[in-house]
Amino acid sequence: MAGILEARGLTYRIGKKDILNGLDLTIKKGEIHVIMGVNGTGKTTLASVVMGLGGYQPASGQLLFDGEDITTLSITERAKLGIMLAWQIPASFEGVAVREYLSLGGSNADVPSLLKMVGLSPQQYAGRFVDDSLSGGERKRIELAAVMAMKPKLVVLDEPDSGIDLASTGTITRLIRKFKENGASVLLITHNENMASVGDIVSLLCGGKIVKQGKARQMARFFEKYCKGCEHVGKVEEEKLNG
Ligand SMILES: Nc1ncnc2c1ncn2[C@@H]1O[C@H](COP(=O)(O)OP(=O)(O)O)[C@@H](O)[C@H]1O
Ligand SMILES: [Mg+2]
């Protein structure tokens, strides 16, 4: 299967420190690909480099999206190609009606079916407003529906269970599966083993590289055993990786 996203030898440096250090990664079309790693390993940095956020130009290496070199494209150009970060729709849309909010990507959004997809009743929610009157969980659902409305090809989620307005892990993983059902590929960043179980494949980020890949359960066990509380980031011993 072809890779929707391929990172080849990606290096990203802050000062003299290589946060990403020759990272290779292939995300296949239609898969939910989880990246795990302890705090400070560079997960958010990787998401930022993939999104093309300002200032996150890699020092070397290449990013290919659907075969096209996107290494120097801006975040807007990448969004046009179908790469979207969940939960990063500008706050300037605060206060608009839910039905308008879901039509941000174009007027032909099927608002009722989008709301149903995220488990909200269209009758009850289409006329509500995107503001403090929504609970944290409702808001997360509506924001994800807005991303779905834009029909992304690759959705990047960075620690979707973090933040103040917690929705349950189960709710979030169900929503993530919806993206897959709709044909999108997903790059899911987490250090929560329960969340990682939604992944078709889990890659472990350590020392600026992907050091190990496997199925969710196997990787969760490895992470629990060797990575939790690890302070020597970047030095997972060979025998552990192969064990
Ligand atoms: N703007 C910055 N200036 C200096 N160091 C940074 C900056 N942003 C991130 N870092 C460092 O880069 C490393 C990776 O950070 P990050 O990608 O946020 O990790 P994670 O998301 O895995 O917790 C950390 O050591 C962090 O302190
Ligand atoms: Mg992070």
| Centre of ligand 2 from the C-alpha of residue 106, in Å | 31
The pick from 20, 41, 227 for probing ligand 1's pocket by mutation, whose C-beta has the most ligand atoms within 8 angstroms, reads 41
Cβ atoms 42, 20 nearer than 8 A: yes
Which ligand 1 atom lies nearest to the CA of residue 48?
Answer: 17
* Tens of pLDDT, residues 40-91: 899 999 999 999 998 999 999 999 999 999 999 999 999 999 999 886 555 5
Q: Is 37 in the pocket of ligand 1 (CB under 6 A)?
A: yes
196 lines ligand 1 (CB under 6 A): no
DSSP 110-176: -HHHHHHHTT--HHHHTTSBSSTTS-HHHHHHHHHHHHHHT--SEEEEESTT-SSSPPPHHHHHHHH
State in Å: Cα 39 to ligand 1 middle: 9
Nearest bound ligand to CA 55? 1
Is any atom of ligand 1 closer than 6 Å to the C-beta of 59? no
Task: Sketch the domain layout of the chain as residue ranges.
Answer: 3-82+153-242, 92-151
Rounded alpha-carbon distances, angstroms, from residue 209 to 73, 96, 114, 212: 23, 42, 37, 9
243 Cα–ligand 2 center, Å: 27
Q: Give domain 3-82+153-242's CATH superfamily.
A: P-loop containing nucleotide triphosphate hydrolases (3.40.50.300)
Average pLDDT over residues 145-168: 81
* 48 close to ligand 1 (CB < 6 Angstrom): no
User: Rounded distance, CA 150 to CA 21, Å?
Assistant: 33
Question: What's the mean per-residue pLDDT of the chain?
Answer: 88
The pTM for the full model equals 0.90
Largest CA distance in the chain: 57
Q: Is the CB of 95 under 6 A from ligand 1?
A: no
203 lines ligand 1 (CB under 6 A): no
Judge if the beta carbon of residue 192 lies within 6 A of ligand 1. no
The answer, yes or no, to whether any atom of ligand 1 lies below 6 A from the CB of 55, is no
Each residue's pLDDT tens digit, 80-127 = 999 998 865 555 678 899 999 998 877 678 999 999 988 899 999 999
Q: What is the pLDDT of residues 189-230, one digit of tens each?
A: 998 888 899 999 999 999 999 999 999 999 999 998 888 877
Q: Is the CB of 45 under 6 A from ligand 1?
A: yes
What local confidence, expressed as pLDDT, does residue 160 receive?
Answer: 83
Nearest-5° Cα angle at 126, 84 to 104: 35
Burial 14-25 (b: 16+ CB within 10 A, else e): eeeebbbbebeb
- Closest residue by CA, ligand 1 atom 18: 44
